[in-house]
Structure 1
């Protein structure tokens, strides 16, 4: 990448949507976006059931905190993916190295933090699902509950890899282009 700064070409470069969609980071952001929709959508749609009362209870061991946490993490991840995709589209237009540095650091920090939050979500949902008593009402929502657990696990992987992609971009801050070539070819 000649004249690259934080993993992008010179400021003002044209935008190629096909090349943008082929980037691993873009594919992961879209996958993370879909994963978040599956998690919060399945819980909102089928995560609350009537168990021995007319009041709705969370399917995960009647623990409303489990459902609320997963929904909150999923919705925030949904909007974050959209915002980071917009930032990735506009990244080549950022001319200031300091602004590029801030964008990459924000991406790296948020992705790492959200990977951790998804890990907590996966552990919390899996633990509460394991403790959930077998009942006909719960069996109706079992597929949705398992889908939320599985996709929260997939989200850990996707957000961790997004964090690694951001760290790769950040290497361009610590090492110039010439140092990168020296380090990668001993």
Structure 2
């Protein structure tokens, strides 16, 4: 199964399998809207999920991700997700540990790696005056090489499944 990560600046921060990352975004969609339906979550549910973050969106995206972490911290792992037994314990299928007490604990590395990807993107700008966008990517070499050179206009025009799920 494909491995997926956050890309930003000069680094890729590997998260796990495509099904793990899809579960993160499924939970994000379900529980953030449930907790605060008036908040616009599209910066994460569309821009990050399907496209990429522009430099001017990083600060807002980090603040939204902190809110997601707070929401996930209120959700007991065992009742928030219908864990598929055939996925658990096999690192080829899932890197997640459902024995954690809350969803924030299950996805703690996602929050930390997202912040690091944003920091890496900013440091790349400072060092080279070039913004390498924060986005979700296939983290294996062949998949990353395929998508790294796609023009951002292709991401902007994308409808449906993100490239990392294709």
TM-score by length of 2: 0.38
TM-score by length of 1: 0.35
Q: Which has the higher helix share?
A: 1
